[in-house]
């Protein structure tokens, strides 16, 4: 079995403020990175509980890095945060994609919800379907025939995943009370839940269809009020209105996913 995992720093239990993931000193950030690293390691343990020979490759998807490399699981492989573009090491040789530390898309009321940038983006749409980071990357995997089988994060992120992938296995490690407020499991309880559910997800891989719809793919990106779209125009994106750009491609990895 070969599993690809995408991680983010806004989704672990006990993280619910932007000054834990975005506006944070390096000294304080290590505390929150340790929570994510523990949940990632628990997910890897769950995969290995199901298949002791599984190959697990994790991409650290948080903008400034979210994994403590020295504490990363010894029986998995890590793509540490750095200059990388889609598909982030994923290809059709993988049996499944998993998400750990995931947040919901912008505007949902989930804990630290945003779409790629909490400071600049109002929404992403692909072929008129509004998708957050989970949806864009699940679709990317779907174009390769790879199913997305597991999502750990707050309850809103898990519900978002289940809307797109009805049979996905979820692990809600906190309940959203607002964008910066939640009821959390302890770190230990969150890790136990993730390990158990990740193993369940492995057992269901053949039952879960990839999230997919046909291309070509037209992506529309709408920026927040006051944010310039000029950099996107300079990169060849089409002007739609003063806050919105779009681009069409046959290969989804040529878009922003």
Q: What was the pLDDT predicted at 144? A: 98
Give one DSSP letter per residue of 87-134, joined into a string: TTT--TT-SEEEEEEE-PPTTS--TT--SS-TTTEEEEEETTEE--HH
Look up residue 235 and give its two tokens. Answer: 């990169």
pLDDT tens per residue across span 9-65: 999 999 999 999 887 888 889 999 999 999 999 999 999 999 999 999 999 999 889
- pTM (predicted TM-score): 0.97
The parts of the chain modelled with pLDDT lower than 50 are: none
Average pLDDT, the chain: 97
- CA separation for the pair 20, 17 (Å, rounded): 6
Q: What was the pLDDT predicted at 67? A: 97
Domains annotated on the chain, with CATH? 2-214 (3.40.50.10780)
Annotated catalytic sites, by residue?
Answer: 114
């Amino acid at each position: 079995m070969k599993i690809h995992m995408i991680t983010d720093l806004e989704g672990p239990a006990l993280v619910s403020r932007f000054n834990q993931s975005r506006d944070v000193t390096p000294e304080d950030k290590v505390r929150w990175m340790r929570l994510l690293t523990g949940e990632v390691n628990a997910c890897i343990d769950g995969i290995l509980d199901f298949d002791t020979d599984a190959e697990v490759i994790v991409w650290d998807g948080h903008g400034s890095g979210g994994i403590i490399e020295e504490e990363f699981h010894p029986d998995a492989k890590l793509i540490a945060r750095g200059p990388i573009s889609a598909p982030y090491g994923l290809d059709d040789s993988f049996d499944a994609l998993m998400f750990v530390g995931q947040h919901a898309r912008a505007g949902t009321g989930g804990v630290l919800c945003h779409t790629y940038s909490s400071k600049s983006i109002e929404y992403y749409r692909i072929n008129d379907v509004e998708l957050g980071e989970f949806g864009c990357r699940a679709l990317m995997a779907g174009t390769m025939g790879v199913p997305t089988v597991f999502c750990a994060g707050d309850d809103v992120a898990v519900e978002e995943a289940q809307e797109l992938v009805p049979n996905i296995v979820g692990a809600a490690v906190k309940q959203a009370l607002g964008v910066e407020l939640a009821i959390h499991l302890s770190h230990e309880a969150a890790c136990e839940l993730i390990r158990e559910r990740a193993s369940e997800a492995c057992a269901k891989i053949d039952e879960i269809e990839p999230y997919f719809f046909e291309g070509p793919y037209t992506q529309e990106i709408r920026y927040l009020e006051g944010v310039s779209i000029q950099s996107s125009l300079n990169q060849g994106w089409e002007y739609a209105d003063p806050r919105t750009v779009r681009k069409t491609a046959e290969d989804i990895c040529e878009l922003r996913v």
